[in-house]
A and B are shown apart, each in its own frame.
Chain A
Amino acid sequence: MKNCLVVDDSKVIRKVARHILESLDLSVSEAVDGRDALTQCEESTPDVVLLDWNMPVMSGMEFLQALSGAKLTARPKIIFCTTENGISHIRAAVEAGADEYVMKPFDRETLESKLTIVGVI
């Protein structure tokens, strides 16, 4: 079973995402910020990271930069999942290495579509 790491400082968002992802036959782990996510990735690299942009301690973009220098067994797919819906943010995320981008609010169909595009499901 493939694993998705949900990185969001909102407990509600993590809960909603977990519910959807588990219904798509993915195992789910959670991180509350970028630092927490980086630690978890170094311990066990997930197949895909669902990544919020604005978080305390370490933001999504900072996590992405740190991830590129981290020693991982494999590079996870990165799907930004954020309320930052402007095209400049989307471009910046893609240029920083994000594979996909979800604009909040999202639903099951959106997450399923994006996970299909990145080849996780």
Chain B
Amino acid sequence: MELTPPPGPASRGAARILSGLLEARTGQILSESRAWRMETALKPVLRAHGLADMDALATRLVGYKDSHLENEVVNALLNNESSFFRDLQIFDMISRHILPRVQEERSNRVLRVWSAGCSTGQEVYSLAIQFSNDVARWRGWRIEILATDISSAAIEQAKSGIFSQMDVQRGLAVGDLIKWFEPSGDDWRANSRLRQMIDFRTDNLFDARAPIGEYDLLLCRNVLLYFTPERRQTVLRLLARHSHPRSVLLLGAGETVIGHSEDFIPHPDFRGGYGRRIATAGSEPLRKVV
């Protein structure tokens, strides 16, 4: 269902053009709460281009094919909210239950993770910290972490590893801060060892080019909620194509595969996780649905 942008200082027409651009470029629809914040989100863009209001911005976008301006608008409208170790119990489950299971099953000592919709990187940096804090367990293993997001601005920030003082205080334990980050002016920067663990790529889930092969752990948290049911199905089919019968998929709180995917079912062993419905020959199928 398309949400009608609210009336405000800008005309409904301008709001429709801007939300239409977001949907065309990313597949995301503006929720009512985000639509109300549209003008606030776009203020830096308006200021940078000397535009008076959203009407002027919409007129510029319609009148001139300015792909740089379009990128700026899309990046500004995307919700890049993230924090370290968001939903702590999920990271506890990954560390204590999911990864040990994967480790038992992978004879080639390669572990592959894909974070689809990684935003500014806090989620995958949290994972990288977990791996790094448990270095003895992972000695001799190759850990591959792919992190993708549609927002080029978010990916650039994630690659830099630079986070504000406020960012690093949300979810990150002080022990991890002083072990894995270094001061960078008023900000903090993930150290080079942590940054090198993650392959950050700008990539569109509806034209995915970055993921290659199958991943043992797939994270797509707080992403599906921005899509229509049809697009959720498309994304889940993509995730299924890049998973194997023993992969584990983790979604955000309040997100589910139920009603959107025939490839995944709730995982019998990992509460809140999902596994593949169909096992291939030679692999033990998922035992039950919880």
Does B165 lie within 8 Å of A85, measured CB to CB? yes
B174 at the interface (CB under 8 A from A): yes
Least CB distance from B278 to A in Å reads 38
A75 at the interface (CB under 8 A from B): no
Does B174 lie within 8 Å of A90, measured CB to CB? yes
Q: How many A-B residue pairs have CB under 8 A?
A: 36
Does A116 lie within 8 Å of B88, measured CB to CB? yes
B60 at the interface (CB under 8 A from A): no
Does A106 lie within 8 Å of B174, measured CB to CB? no
Does A117 lie within 8 Å of B177, measured CB to CB? no
| Minimal Cβ-Cβ distance residue in B for A103 | B165
B171 at the interface (CB under 8 A from A): yes
Contacts of B165 in A (CB 8 A): 85, 103
Q: Mark A75-117, 1 if CB is under 8 A from B, else 0.
A: 0000000000111001100100011111100110110011011
Q: Known: A90-B178, A94-B178, A100-B174. Contact between A113 and B169, CB under 8 A?
A: yes
B173 at the interface (CB under 8 A from A): yes
Does A94 lie within 8 Å of B174, measured CB to CB? yes
Does B166 lie within 8 Å of A100, measured CB to CB? no
What is the interface residue range for chain B against chain A?
A: 10 to 19
Does A109 lie within 8 Å of B174, measured CB to CB? no
Does B170 lie within 8 Å of A109, measured CB to CB? yes
Q: Known: A94-B175, A94-B178, A117-B173. Contact between A87 and B166, CB under 8 A?
A: no
| Minimal Cβ-Cβ distance residue in A for B168 | A103
Does A100 lie within 8 Å of B173, measured CB to CB? yes
List B147-191 residues whose CB lies under 8 Å from chain A.
Answer: 165-166, 169-171, 173-175, 177-178, 182-183
Please, how many angstroms separate the alpha-carbon atoms of A91 and B181 in the complex?
12
Q: Give the interface centre of B83, B88, B170 by most chain A CB atoms within 10 Å.
A: B170
Least CB distance from B43 to A in Å reads 21
Least CB distance from A80 to B in Å reads 9
Does A102 lie within 8 Å of B178, measured CB to CB? no
Does A87 lie within 8 Å of B183, measured CB to CB? yes
Contacts of A103 in B (CB 8 A): 165, 169
Does B169 lie within 8 Å of A114, measured CB to CB? yes
Please, how many angstroms separate the alpha-carbon atoms of A107 and B173 in the complex?
16
Q: Give the interface centre of A85, A98, A113, A114 by most chain B CB atoms within 10 Å.
A: A113
Contacts of A109 in B (CB 8 A): 170
Q: Known: A85-B165, A103-B165. Contact between A90 and B170, CB under 8 A?
A: no
Does A106 lie within 8 Å of B169, measured CB to CB? yes
| Minimal Cβ-Cβ distance residue in B for A117 | B173
Q: Known: A90-B177, A94-B175, A100-B173. Contact between A110 and B166, CB under 8 A?
A: yes
Contacts of A98 in B (CB 8 A): 174
Contacts of A116 in B (CB 8 A): 88
Contacts of A86 in B (CB 8 A): 183
Please, how many angstroms separate the alpha-carbon atoms of A98 and B175 in the complex?
10
Contacts of A106 in B (CB 8 A): 169
Contacts of A107 in B (CB 8 A): 166
The 6 A-B pairs with the shortest beta carbon distances in the complex, nearest first, are A101-B174, A110-B169, A113-B170, A117-B173, A100-B174, A113-B171
A-B pairs with beta carbons under 8 Å apart, 14 shown: A86-B183, A91-B178, A94-B174, A94-B178, A98-B174, A101-B174, A101-B177, A102-B169, A103-B165, A106-B169, A109-B170, A110-B170, A113-B170, A114-B169
Chain B: residues with CB nearer than 8 A to chain A? 83, 88, 165-166, 169-171, 173-175, 177-178, 182-183
- Can you name 20 extra interface pairs (CB under 8 A) apart from A90-B174, A98-B174, A110-B166? A86-B183, A87-B178, A87-B182, A87-B183, A90-B178, A91-B178, A94-B175, A99-B174, A101-B177, A102-B169, A103-B165, A106-B169, A107-B166, A109-B170, A113-B83, A113-B169, A113-B170, A114-B169, A116-B88, A117-B88
